[in-house]
Structure 1
């Protein structure tokens, strides 16, 4: 199965939690159908990306990265690579690269979808990431390592986030903690 086929399968079978998420799911599927390179950073102005919200083993904290270019606290994530076999694998790879934590346990089903404008991503403006968001659990005692994409990494209580965390990240944290309560 190709990455594009995986994206089509994931988005077709994913149960969106509400009408807005279902609208995004349909929009993403349409994008995948219309563009052979829908998951490539070369697809302009929009392309699918994958991210992972990393949660502590006890589910009480989240690891956020202070993105170097954007200057905002975000979950780990980014562009899919040709070596990624699936969206979940892309999210896992991004999580490992940006956190330095190797043994992440990633739920194979997305938590949320987030469409957001990204300044400076390609030659066409405005450009958007059609982000497929996953939740990853770090092993007990995991130690993060700051990558060159970040100005900082930090563990924050799910209800004690740093100033300036935008609503999309707060929504992802809420959805991820709900999902983790459902997993035995």
Structure 2
């Protein structure tokens, strides 16, 4: 998915979730900035992540993020790569050790604009996170990366209890539960 395909997908992207719909225009505007795919754009930049589910759509794979100390989907910075689908797949493999990931569809699954707190040498800034739906086998061994404290498969029933209140994760969970995508 190159920048132009991404722009076209954003033009066509519709969501019934008000909080997600509010920032689609922000994503579209950001695609015009050549620095948007680099973390050096301190006001905010694109990231890509994967909502990884098992084939039966009963579990999702989450990481306990080392820097943020929260359970999240796997993903990371584009670092200049304008193919955000490729970034999401690469990050998912690097952060989980999974080699047999399957992209469910070549469409945006979810969008989220969220603030990243200030850290030493990095000011507070926005991540414009583009999410893709991936499928994996729960029996494939996991390998924790340096970016994680832990990795675990969570049943859909237990996700809300594990993450606390995180509307974007709850939204992806709801989208997966309602998904019309063929199993």
Shorter-chain-normalised TM-score: which range? 0.7 to 0.9
Counterpart residue number, 1:16: 15
SS of residue paired to 2:23:
helix
Is 1:163 the counterpart of 2:162? The answer is yes
Determine helix, strand or coil for the equivalent of 2:158. Answer: coil
Out of 72, 96, 107, the residue aligned to residue 99 of structure 1 is 96
Q: TM-score, normalised by structure 2?
A: 0.86
Does the aligned pair in 1 maintain the 2:61–2:152 contact within 8 Å?
Answer: yes
What stretches of structure 1 move > 6 A for 4+ residues in a row? none
> Alpha-carbon deviation of 1:150?
0.3
Give 1:28's aligned residue. Answer: 27
SS of 1:155's equivalent?
strand
What does residue 175 of structure 1 align with? 175
Change (3 A) 1:85 1:168: closer
What is the Cα-based RMSD across aligned positions, in Å? Answer: 2.2
> 1:160 aligns to what SS in structure 2?
helix
1:85 deviation in Å?
5.7
Contact map agreement 1:44 1:123 (CA 8 A) in 2: no
Measured at CA, do residues 17 and 122 of structure 1 come closer, stay the same or move farther in structure 2, by a change above 3 Å?
farther
Unaligned runs of 5+ in 1: none
Alpha-carbon distance between aligned partners in 2 of 1:59 and 1:66, rounded to the nearest angstrom: 21
Distance 1:121 1:132, change over 3 A: farther
142 and 57 in structure 1: CA distance in 2 versus 1, 3 angstrom threshold = farther
Distance 1:121 1:36, change over 3 A: farther
- Match runs of 1:45-64 below 5 Å: 45-64=43-62
Corresponding residue number in structure 1 for 2:73: 75
Q: TM-score, normalised by structure 1?
A: 0.86
CA distance in 1, matches of 2:67, 2:22: 29
**Shift, 1:22, TM fit:** 3.0
Higher alpha-carbon deviation: 72-81 or 113-122: 113-122
Give the 3 Å change call, closer, same or farther, for CA 163–85 of structure 1 in structure 2: closer
